Amino acid sequence: MAKMTVRDLDVKGKKVIVRVDFNVPIKEGKIKDDNRIVQALPTINYLVEHGAKVILMSHLGKVDHKDPEKKAADMAKNNMAPVAARLAELVNTNVSFVDQTQGELLEVAVAKLKEGDIVLMQNTRYEKGESKNDAELAKYWASLADLFVTDAFGSVHRAHSSTVGVAEYLPSALGFLVEKEVEMLTAAVYNPKRPFVAILGGAKVSDKIAVIENLLKIADKVLIGGGMAYTFVKAQGKEIGKSLVEEDRIDLAKEFLAVAGNKLVLPVDHLVADAFAETANTMVVDDDHIPADYMGLDIGPKTIELFKNELQGAQTVIWNGPMGVFEMKPFATGTLEVCKAISELPGAMTVIGGGDSAAAAIQLGFKDKFSHISTGGGASLEFMEGKELPGIAIIQEK
């Protein structure tokens, strides 16, 4: 059954709590990338235009509640004040910031809200009970409002007070961002046009075991690059030098190789370096000749061509994880070329599953060349594993 969306709610004059994902990178009080704020604007603007009284809540970073010194430092570092200032520049209405997650200041600010106004409250993780889905905390937050909207796709895989708890006490709906995420990922993973090619990269096999398992069942091809490829290369009995490896996952990689046959496609050559540094000495070697004192930091040119060939004719592509250490220019070529190849596929549905691959695509200038770039790394991974996401499951059915 379909979930309620913000369009299904009568919001005029109502107090609406919106769980947004404003977990943006902040350095010395300045926001480095406001993409997550921008992504929430369609839902926020819709509510403002339809006369809702909008209460925004989000987490920002982590807060260590066990150590008082660390807690104070984390709270200072992860204050939502710069986010409120940026949001005020992006919307055409009053935005007030409340430096509280509970208490009189917050309650007064909410009571004073006029139709179309916004209150952004302090970081939900200032509350110890937030990540434990504390029922009393959720009940308190729910008491501030009439309705609940979830628009934080990056957090719907976590059962927290602000993502799941509040929705137990209020009529609830999906915001436009989460609605789009669910539609696009469902179409790509569970109803793909074929051929369906999945590309997985990143550092660790252990992060993506369940994803590999699920995609091997449903994709036509699964291409593997990045640091995680070396656990598979070693599982084939080849030398990998000082490349990243998860020794405790080699037997699992062998199992995947045995089950998958030619469905699983691994790199055939590598750009290797004698140090993890931009200034390292590098060379391109094939699979059988990684020197003992070198490490693989990107896929090689033959692999780039192999992956491009596997992508030819694909109608659905999901990509999660870079092909190398793309943050360092000498090792960004594999990620760039794969990104470019996916973006140029005619008529294909192309989806990036958040995280580093989304950052890479945006950084490399491909933001508008994909059907969908997910805003949630962990959430999109769990979706690709076939898991139910608690922050979506709790939302009312139509």
Residues 153 and 222 in one domain: no
CA distance 32 to 363: 13
Residues 160 and 187 in one domain: no
Residues 200 and 259 in one domain: yes
Whether 378 sits among the annotated catalytic residues: the reply is yes
- Is residue 389 included in any domain, yes or no? no
Q: Locate 274 and state its tokens.
A: 């004698």
Q: Is 136 exposed, middle or buried (0-12, 13-18, 19+ CB in 10 A)?
A: exposed
Q: How confident is the model at residue 14 (pLDDT cuts 50, 70, 90)?
A: very high
Residues 191 and 315 in one domain: yes
- Is residue 60 included in any domain, yes or no? yes
Whether 204 sits among the annotated catalytic residues: the reply is yes
CATH of the domain at 133: 3.40.50.1260
pLDDT digits (tens, 9 = 90+) for 208-253: 999 999 999 999 999 999 999 999 999 999 999 999 999 999 999 9
The residue from 201, 300, 334, 355 that is catalytic is 355
Residues 164 and 190 in one domain: no
pLDDT number for residue 1: 54
pLDDT digits (tens, 9 = 90+) for 257-309: 999 999 999 999 999 999 999 999 999 999 889 999 999 999 999 999 999 99
Q: Is 27 exposed, middle or buried (0-12, 13-18, 19+ CB in 10 A)?
A: exposed
Residues 160 and 52 in one domain: yes
Q: Which of 174, 193, 217 is the last residue of a domain?
A: 174
pLDDT number for residue 144: 98
Per-residue pLDDT, averaged over 62-66, amounts to: 95
* Numbers of helices and strands, H then E, in the chain: 14, 17
Q: Which of 146, 174, 202 is the last residue of a domain?
A: 174
The residue from 263, 378, 386, 387 that is catalytic is 378
The residue from 204, 238, 308, 340 that is catalytic is 204
Top-confidence residue, 373 or 272: 272
Residues 195 and 47 in one domain: no
Give the sheet arrangement for strand 264-265, strand by strand.
264-265, 221-224, 196-200, 316-320, 349-352, 372-373
- Is residue 123 included in any domain, yes or no? yes
8 A C-beta contact, residue 125 and residue 131: yes
8 A C-beta contact, residue 205 and residue 253: yes
Q: Which of 121, 145, 174 is the last residue of a domain?
A: 174
Q: How confident is the model at residue 365 (pLDDT cuts 50, 70, 90)?
A: confident
Q: How confident is the model at residue 361 (pLDDT cuts 50, 70, 90)?
A: confident
Closest CA to 198 of 393, 380, 10: 380
- Is residue 391 included in any domain, yes or no? no
Residues 187 and 111 in one domain: no
pLDDT number for residue 132: 96
- Is residue 396 included in any domain, yes or no? no
Question: What single-letter DSSP state applies at residue 162?
Answer: I
pLDDT number for residue 270: 98
Neighbouring CB atoms inside 10 A of 100's CB total 14
Mean pLDDT of the chain: 95
| Residue positions counted in the chain | 398
pLDDT digits (tens, 9 = 90+) for 330-355: 999 999 999 999 999 999 999 998 77
Residues 130 and 212 in one domain: no
| pLDDT exceeds cutoff 70 at 6 | yes
Residues 145 and 187 in one domain: no
Domain limits for position 78: 6-174
**132-146, 159-173, 285-299, 350-364: least confident range:** 350-364
Residues 151 and 225 in one domain: no
Q: Are strands 196-200 and 221-224 parallel, antiparallel or unpaired?
A: parallel
The residue from 3, 15, 19, 36 that is catalytic is 36
- Is residue 245 included in any domain, yes or no? yes
Whether 321 sits among the annotated catalytic residues: the reply is no
- Is residue 216 included in any domain, yes or no? yes
8 A C-beta contact, residue 146 and residue 15: yes
Number of domains in the chain: 2
| pLDDT exceeds cutoff 80 at 127 | yes
- Is residue 283 included in any domain, yes or no? yes
Q: Is 387 exposed, middle or buried (0-12, 13-18, 19+ CB in 10 A)?
A: middle
Residues 161 and 197 in one domain: no
